[in-house]
Structure 1
Amino acid sequence: ARAKAELLEEPALGGLCIVPPGWSALERVASARSLRIWRVGPGGDSWLESSSSGYTAMPWGEPIRLRARGRHFAEDALAALSVAVALGAGVREAVEAMSSFEGLAGRGRRLVSGPLTVIDESYNANPDSMRACLESLAREDGRRIAVLGDMLELGAGSGVMHEEVIRLASGLGLDLVVLVGAEFAAAAGRPGRGVVSVGSWEEALAVIEREAGREATVLVKGSHAMRLDMIVERLRGGA
């Protein structure tokens, strides 16, 4: 939070600072700079409401419809909408402009390879983004497979955080979880039913290719250095 607060040293006095609720360090700096504060999230100035039909941006009551799926994308869209409205754009106009947004390569792109629908989240990973993507995968129809690469540069708590991701993935009712890398291998110990631990993206690809004869949605996510993007590219080549 302190590092992010350094970004607020540049905006002109009287400018706008959009932050999640509860980020007191940012709010202190914003107040000292006489910036207007707009809180985005639960209990804030704008927030999401969810239902079986999707997400609604509040307080405006406008549904958020994106080609990219998942609450994490809806939350990002809410932040973008809040910026647009704060700068004077019309709510409906801004929502319509976002409706064509779809995930980018490595960040939520979806592609079809034979019977497999691949969700490409291979650019980066941390515990929060892993949770968001896994929970989104769990809401997909049909068979669901997660290919998860090590989350790098997490520091002393890395082992515990990898264990937490494994517990989450194992508890979501997914059909198969493929763990890639030494961090996940150490955290998994002896993997349980429906969980496979491998050492490289090549081994993970071989596991997925054995599933290629059956329809499934496959999430591919890990730190960029794990090279899980190669799995996506190989599958894409067979599309």
Structure 2
Amino acid sequence: VPHPPGGERAPPLPLPGRHQAENLLAAAAAALTLEVPAEQVAAAAASLEPAPRRGVVHRLGHGIVVVDDSYNASPHAMARVLEMLQDTPGRRVAVLGEMLELGPAAPEMHRRVGEQAGRSADVVIAVGPLHATALAEGAGERCLRAVPDAAAALELLRTAVQPGDVVLVKGSRGIGLDTVVDELLEEWR
């Protein structure tokens, strides 16, 4: 962010992921173009918080980090959050629920997301009644298992997660992965 006189300031980024940094930079550029003072832009950036279930980072016991992005999912949103996960140090676990309302291209879109998940995570758990198998096939050997619902994903997570893991939970709201996050927060705090 430009900072008078002629300097620059890197605002803190309280939201995870390169995609969030890009959003912040676009908003800052628009504000500065509209002549909002740089100090005000930086203060606004520092006060940002993620919306509920949209990239909320929870630091739990045993060094476990849960990234709750369980509100909704699309192929593009999955790709961006998996890029963030890939850049995260440590053992990475991706719990990926189906993306709903994709029409006839849904199986192929799930397979492609699974492929990216296989490159981005050390362990993938695919969740859902319709396309979890396509997600799992895309992830290949990194996929621990495809499960039909959130309850089965939770049971699997309880044995799969190790101290120090980063656990990403992402999927369409209709899959119910928010319940997985709530249970993990209750159990692992």
- Superposed pair shares fold, TM > 0.5: yes
User: Is 1:225 matched up with 2:184?
Assistant: no
Counterpart of 1:107?
A: 54
Larger deviation: 152-161 or 225-234? 152-161
1:233 is displaced (CA, Å) by 0.5
Distance 1:190 1:88 in 2: 47
What do residues 148-205 of structure 1 show as CA deviations (whole Å, max 9, x unaligned)? Answer: 0000011221111111101111123x22001001212145459632202111111111
Deviations along 1:200-234, one digit per CA (max 9) or x if unpaired, are 11111111111344220000000001100001100
For 1:230, the aligned partner's letter is T
Partner of 2:10: 63
Does the CA contact (< 8 Å) of 2:115 and 2:139 recur in 1?
no
**Partner residue in 1 for 2:158:** 209
Give the structure 2 partner of residue 133 of structure 1.
Answer: 81
Q: Is the 8 A contact 1:143 1:217 kept in 2?
A: yes
- Once the two structures are superposed, the pairs formed by residues 70-149 of structure 1 within 5 Å of their partners are 70-115=17-62, 116-149=64-97
The letter of the residue matching 1:139 is D
Unaligned runs of at least 5 residues, structure 1: 1-55
Greater share of residues in strand: 1
Letter of the structure 2 residue corresponding to residue 175 of structure 1: D
What's the TM-score once normalised by structure 1's chain length?
0.69
191 and 131 in structure 1: CA distance in 2 versus 1, 3 angstrom threshold: closer
Structure 2: gaps spanning 5 or more residues: none
Given the two structures, how large is their TM-score scaled by the length of structure 2? 0.86
- Checking the alignment, whether the CA contact within 8 Å between 1:152 and 1:223 is kept in structure 2 is yes
In structure 2, C-alpha distance between the alignment counterparts of 1:213 and 1:162, rounded to whole Å = 27
Task: Name the one with the larger helix percent.
Answer: 2
Higher relative contact order (CA 8 A, sep 6+): 2
What RMSD in Å do the two structures reach over aligned CA positions? 2.1
Q: Structure 2 residue aligned with 1:175, among 122, 127, 139?
A: 122
* Runs of at least 4 residues off by over 6 Å: none
Q: Which amino acid aligns with 1:63?
A: A
The one of 185, 193, 198 equivalent to 2:147 is: 198
